[in-house]
Amino acid sequence: MPARSTGAACLLALGLAGAAAAQEDGRKLFTSITPSCAVCHTLKDADATGTVGPSLDELKPDAARVAKALRTGVGQMPAFPQLTDAQVQALARYIEQATR
């Protein structure tokens, strides 16, 4: 039984490390894509204080809503066709988690 418990602990640790890395990847995308999300949006987790678009901290969008906005644009926000599907998903999950 101790081996199972050690294995489960290792898997949990790996999962948490992977989640932290994914969040950091999303944070980097938030501040580095062109145009940067931080230019328009407020998001405390990313130290972003943009005022053109809605405050994501207040809006609290889910990942599906963010991904759709990134792919198709919304209002004044352009679409970001330069992003891969993996980048869209990383950014969408980051914003969802950072605003919860």
80-89 per-position pLDDT tens digit: 999 999 999 9
Looking at residue 53, what is its pLDDT?
A: 95
Distance from C-alpha of 59 to C-alpha of 15, rounded to nearest angstrom: 28
Looking at residue 12, what is its pLDDT?
A: 44
- Looking at residue 56, its amino acid is L
How many CB atoms are located within 10 Å of the residue 73 CB?
13
Average pLDDT of the residues in 66-82: 97
Q: What is the pLDDT of residues 13-30, one digit of tens each?
A: 545 455 677 788 999 999
Looking at residue 20, what is its pLDDT?
A: 77
Q: Where are the domains of the chain?
A: 22-98
DSSP labels, 45-98: GGTEE--SS--HHHH---HHHHHHHHHH-BTTBPP-TTS-HHHHHHHHHHHHHH
The CATH code that applies to domain 22-98 is: 1.10.760.10
pTM: 0.80
Is the pLDDT at 66 greater than 80? The verdict is: yes
